[in-house]
Chain A
Amino acid sequence: MTSDFWSMGGYARYVWPCYGIAGAVLAWNLWAAGRYLGAAKVRAARALAMASSEAR
């Protein structure tokens, strides 16, 4: 039964890469968004620090 599942009726080399790419796209979205948000927070903190040091 499980070998039937993995072979997907002979279409395994189309079906599993499909799901792999879908997983990769979802994972990339999360990773890239997390990195983008982190970078934005760092830049904002830096801009605030510069502004407050200039104000002195």
Chain B
Amino acid sequence: MRVGAWEAFFLVVRRELCLSFRRPEQLFQPLVFFLIVTTLFPLGLSLQLSALRDIAPGVLWVAALLSSLLSLDSLFKSDADDGTLEQLALSGQGLTLIVVAKTCAHWLVTGLALVIVSPIVGIALSIPTHAFATMMLSLALGTLTLSWLGAIGAGLTIGLRRGNVLLSLIVLPLATPLLIFGAAATDRAISETSTAGAVYFLAALCVFTCTLAPWAATAALRITLE
């Protein structure tokens, strides 16, 4: 029975979402990590409210980066372990399509969840509410880019001993522009100056990554699966 490309895409996304929600603890762990890390900074630095506002964008973004890294493990690993990944690769649908579907589903349950939780973190870091819109938009763009960078890294490090450490070593240098512009966008929003430049740059990074990363991630998977 021939399955069209769009149908295959939605089938894979639905499968990923089903699997994710079957183990809700797996979904909550990165979010809880995000919340814990952001509270560590104010507690460790015991700052006045105004000083907290200064470091808030950076802390928010570093925490988002680290918790995204935690969740990247689940992108390919369990499927690679039980052989599903090879079956998907052999399925006749392009491997790129599968990779795009898996990464989109991954972003929905990790990046998007992070964006939804971010107002809580914003309040904890005393980010003023008028900056929330920019903060959430920049996080949405940033986590999407990060999911794609992570897909490349995850594809390269499936099944390696200490693959987690290597994954961070690979993804974090590539993600530094994200951190810089994401924090800049939130910072500008807090000080109520124009955020357009930083947000446009984030969007450009996102488009650039979403366009080229699928091919790189597919190539990475082919290298690992061969």
Direct contact of A and B (CB under 8 A): no
By a beta-carbon cutoff of 8 Å, the part of chain B in contact with chain A is none
By a beta-carbon cutoff of 8 Å, the part of chain A in contact with chain B is none
